[in-house]
Amino acid sequence: MLLVCPWLTWAATAIGPGSGLPSLMVEALALDDRGFLWIGTQDGVARFGSHRFLTVELDRGHALPDRNVRRLLAVPGAVYVATTSRLHRFDLATESLRAVDFGDAGVSGVIGLQRDPNGLIYAVTETGQVFHWRDRGGARDIERMALVASAPLPEVNDLSLGREALWLATVRGIYRVDRRTGKTELLDLALPEIARGAVHASAIHETENGELWIGFWNDGLVRHDPRSGASRRLRPGDPGAGAIRSTSIYSFLDTPRGLYIGTNRGMVVHRPECDCLRALNQPEWDAVEGRGFVITDLIEEGDGVWAGVWGTGITRFSAFDEVFENQVRVPDREDSLSHPMVYSLHVGVGRRLWIGTYGGGVQWVDAAARRPGEAWPLQEIPWGNRAVESRFIWSLHEEDKRLLIGSGRGLMQWSDDRLQDLYPDLLSIRDFLRTSEGVELVGTTYGLKRLDAAGPHSVPLGPDASTPPPSAVVWSLLERGEEVWVGTANGLARLSPQLRLIAWHPVGGGATQLPGAVVWTQKRGLDGTHWLGTSGGLVAVRGTPGAPHFERHPLPEHLGIHGINSIEFDTLGQLWLGTPKGLVRYRPGTRQAELFDRQDGLVSDQLNTHASASDGERLYFGGAGGLVAFDPRAVPERTVRLAPDVVKMRLGQEPWQPRRRELALAHEHQPLQLEFTAFQFGRPERVRYAYRWTPLESAFTELGDAKSAVFSRLPSGRQVLQLRAEVIGDPASGVIAPVLTVDVAMAWHETLWARLLMALTVLALAYLVYFLRSRQSRLYAHGLARDVRERTHQLTEAKEALETANAKLQQQVSIDPLTGLDNRRELFQVATRLDARGTALTAMLIDLDNFKRINDEHGHQVGDAVLVDFAMLLRQVIGHQVACARYGGEEFLCLLDDTDAASLGALSQRLLDEVRQRSLREGATEVRYTASVGVAIGHAGETAEAVIRRADRALYRAKETGRNRVCLD
């Protein structure tokens, strides 16, 4: 049973105006051995290596120019190019073109060109002549097949090679040509609606199982079984032919993935696993009627299919284009999407998909109507005369057989086929939550609201009801444990079951802070993990509900994605993230991320907040332009096939030359300019290049996205250019290939005879120099020995003087010059060493009482004598000191290793008693002085600096309480 699925549109990569194509009127495609895509147009043929078109001259050597290419065929080592007037063979090794002749005449009017699995090439002309040969690099063996027919064949349009016969599509139907006998007969399709011999067949293909697919001009598509004679016609509007939107079929391509069919309204593909037809188009193709998108030829390339589009250029469809199903607004259909901007999606009871748009209200489609490959027939909730802002749908939530609709103006419900206004004064509703306790909460741009019978009430998110929250905009709500988590535009608020604030989690780098201010979405995964999508990235919530820990999952830098707008999960443990730059498949275990965008089949790169849903099998994401649906299990792994190579080369300003594997250059050669490609048609803009010359260089020189390089004055000898190509963000895709071997001639001085002559000359000069230098050396040695002895003596004296000076300098740096005690700098160096050792210390800080009065009454000379006298006394009394120093002015500091309070008190009192008995006589003047002492006993682990501070406090008390005493801290 054939299932036909209409209207589905996929995105694709299109190359059209301004790209470098000779003409947009594309008629033929081929893929050669090297990887070049050949495009035959109405005005010439070009080779495409993923970033540049190279034109192949067809007029050279012919009196009558003819650039209208009708067919292309790639065979090992060559490409055949058929124009309206001649058949050419392009040799890939020499990049030379020559005509293919039959006898003394050329082969003209070729309209069909194919090669069978045995290597035999068939060409059929418009007039029904059939030629066949094997490609041996020439045209000597070409033969014309003798056809046995009751009448001349009508105009031929296409050729298909079957296992036993050739099939010719003509303007009068399908002809079968026996490959052994040449017998020709008209195929009877046994279809009353197609008159025998009166229909225009435009394309034909025989599948591996022997079934014929026949395309007609203006009469649709026919499947015919030659064994049973059964035929089935498929036209737009016929039962089961929904994907066929055209009555004119132009081309077929048979691949392992399915049979691709080109029409004048886009392309459909037949899937053998479901025996169904699906459309495969660019979104804008569906809105164009008539012959705007005639698919003239198809060619498979890697995981993609190229389509030649008459009047538009070429278009590439990848494997991803066949997975992502986009639903868009189609102007001619009332049951299509009402508005291109989708901002909310929800799968409800019975797996019904609810769709909220920004301006088009709410639509829905039931699970049975969401058939893969079809545009869904959407139904719409009648909106009545409500305000336009109420059609801006931000959130959808279904429960208790009712659908809650959060809009730009009001909260509504759809129940029993009635739309009711619940709270029309609530504005810009972003999310809805019913807690396990039955509390209904609504997040809006004006704050968090609690709903009850009396209406909506504001829930304060600040420290108290009188303090405003950091931000009033609430984007997301989720219950975690007994807490309510509120995602705002300025962080995350956690509320108690009584809706009181527990904690705010703002932006920051901590374990309980967010990478971005806005918490767009919150989702609970299938394993129970709580995920946050923020403006700064993806966050997994770990830890207990009361003590959460935020684990950041940044996406790879090359993606350039920070904001996460929506999150969904699949059964494989993968996250699917809607972002402003496309759809991301994320594997939390390995933290691998893969981006899908318009080039992969999405209708838009902009995926919106809350616009995602899952029905257990397929995922749905909404964005600018419509929504996308897909089965995550069907999304293939991205395969990258790179084949780095040289496209063309030239020396200096000479003309560009075809690529060669080996090149001989003069020693002083002109700059060598090379252009590269990697034959990456899916993502050519992401390919990065690097090169190195071996064996000269071990590291690669990066070229970035540059696809050319210039080399001036390469070193002499044989060297190989290695080219590396990789797709940005995918280091595993890197491929290194040798692309060019260069032999650079040696300079005259690098030849063998020149090197021998230079070697002999060098040896003779070396001997002469040796003889002269030897004699001079002996004379010089005697004088040198004398000079060495004198210089050694001078150095010894200088060394001794330097050591003496260093010792004096060290003493000056560490000793107080007046008292002979350590200075403050030396004391703190000692303290640092003691701290590192961990020794408990005692600090004794001593201050001479009323020292300023001594200076004022007796002069500074007497004051200095007092300082010297006290320093001498200090050395006598503190016999077990660790360190003693002049701390500054009339202050002295001792660091002791004694921690016994009694002995320290006795030592301090003895010092004071000795001071009281001291007297200095300067002339007729007798001077007496006293001192105050502050003592602090250190504790284990306490730094010397801390002990000194406590001793300073004790000294302060001693001076405050009368001086001439000891105080202990």
pLDDT in the model for residue 860: 87
Q: What is the rounded CA–CA span in Å between residue 882 and residue 894?
A: 7
Q: For residues 734 and 52, what is the distance between their CA atoms, to the nearest angstrom?
A: 21
pLDDT along the chain (969 residues), means of 10: 40 78 94 95 93 85 79 96 93 89 84 94 94 78 84 92 94 93 91 71 95 92 92 82 82 93 89 83 61 83 91 90 87 86 94 95 94 84 91 92 93 93 92 93 94 89 61 90 94 93 91 94 94 97 90 93 96 95 96 92 92 95 94 90 92 88 91 93 90 92 92 91 90 89 86 82 87 80 74 72 64 80 85 80 91 88 89 82 84 84 84 89 83 90 88 92 91
Q: How many CA atoms lie within 13 A of 796 on its CB side?
A: 6
Distance CA 775, CA 765 (A): 16
Return d(Cα 202, Cα 188) in angstroms, integer. Answer: 16
Catalytic residue among 890, 891, 914, 926: 890
Q: What is the pLDDT of residue 7?
A: 38
**What does residue 787 show for φ and ψ, rounded to 5 degrees?**
-65, -35
What is the SS3 assignment for 176-230? EEECCCCEEEECCCCCCCCCCCCCCEEEEEECCCCCEEEEECCCCEEEECCCCCC
**458: its two tokens:** 């504001």
Q: Across-strand partners of 4?
A: 277
Region for 560 from its dihedrals, namely left if φ exceeds 0, alpha if ψ lies in -120 to 50, beta otherwise: left
One-letter identity of residue 100: V
Nearest to 241 by CA among 522, 5, 502, 548: 5
Closest by CA to 503, choosing from 451, 550, 445, is: 550
**DSSP classification of residue 528:** S
Chain centroid, CA 648 distance in Å: 31
Cα–Cα dist 633/656, whole Å? 48
Under DSSP, is residue 904 helix (H, G, I), strand (E, B) or coil?
helix
How far, in Å, CA of 303 to CA of 776, rounded? 81
- Computed on alpha carbons and rounded to an integer, the radius of gyration of the chain in Å comes to 46
CB distance 184 to 153 below 8 Å: yes
Helix or strand (DSSP H, E) at 414? strand 409-415
Structure tokens at 799: 């060394």
Strands 662-665 and 730-744, bridge-based pairing: parallel
DSSP-assigned letter for residue 236: T
Q: How far apart are CA 688 and CA 684, in angstroms?
A: 9
Q: How many CB atoms lie within 10 A of CB 248?
A: 20
Q: 3-state secondary structure string, 730-750? A: EEEEEEEEEEEEEEECCCHHH
The strand pair at 409-415 and 402-407 is best described as antiparallel
**What CA–CA distance (Å, rounded) separates 715 from 695?**
11
Half-sphere exposure of 408 (CA within 13 A, CB side): 15
Distance CA 444, CA 406 (A): 9
Distance CA 658, CA 418 (A): 72
**845: closest CA among 902, 749, 911?**
911
The torsion of the CA quartet 294, 299, 305, 310, rounded to 10 degrees, works out to -20
- Say which residues have a Cβ less than 8 Å from residue 351's Cβ, sequence separation at least 6: 366, 367, 615, 616
> Pairing relation of β-strands 37-41 and 44-48?
antiparallel
| Dist CA 39 CA 54 (whole Å) | 10
Q: Cα separation of 354 and 345, whole Å?
A: 6
Report the DSSP beta bridge partners of residue 448.
443, 459
DSSP state, residue 822: B
Cβ atoms 967, 961 nearer than 8 A: yes
Confidence (pLDDT) at 198: 64
Residues contacting 708, CB < 8 A, separation 6+:
673, 674, 675, 676
Per-residue tokens: 618: 């397929």
- Reduced to 3 states (helix: H, G, I; strand: E, B; else coil), residue 579 is strand
How distant, in Å, are the alpha carbons of 49, 556, 643 from that of 729? 22, 8, 18
Q: Which residues pair with 967 in a beta bridge?
A: 934
DSSP percent split of the chain into helix, strand, coil, nearest 5: 15, 45, 40
> What span, in angstroms and rounded, lies between the C-alpha atoms of 365 and 118?
52
Strand spans (E) along 748-880? 842-848
Query: In the chain, what is the straight-line distance between the N-terminal and C-terminal CA atoms, in Å?
Result: 102
Helix (H) or strand (E) holding 480: strand 474-480
CA distance 452 to 959: 74
- The torsion defined by the Cα of 236, 237, 243 and 246, in degrees rounded to 10, comes to 10
Computed from CA positions of residues 330, 333, 337, 341, in that sequence, does the dihedral angle turn out positive or negative?
positive
Torsion of Cα atoms, 475 then 479 then 480 then 486, to 10°:
30
Task: In whole angstroms, give the CA distance from residue 435 to residue 422.
Answer: 19
- Residues ≥6 apart with Cβ < 8 Å to 362: 354, 355, 356, 380, 381, 393, 396, 403, 405, 414
890 is a catalytic site residue: yes
Closest CA to 326 of 638, 594, 636, 618: 618
Q: Which helix (H) or strand (E) holds 455?
A: strand 455-459
User: 410: Cβ–Cβ under 8 A, 6 or more apart, which residues?
Assistant: 386, 390, 421, 422, 423, 424, 425, 426, 427, 429
Long-range own/partner contacts, residues 500-505 (CB < 8 A, 24 or more apart): 501/460, 501/461, 501/462, 501/463, 504/470, 505/548, 505/550
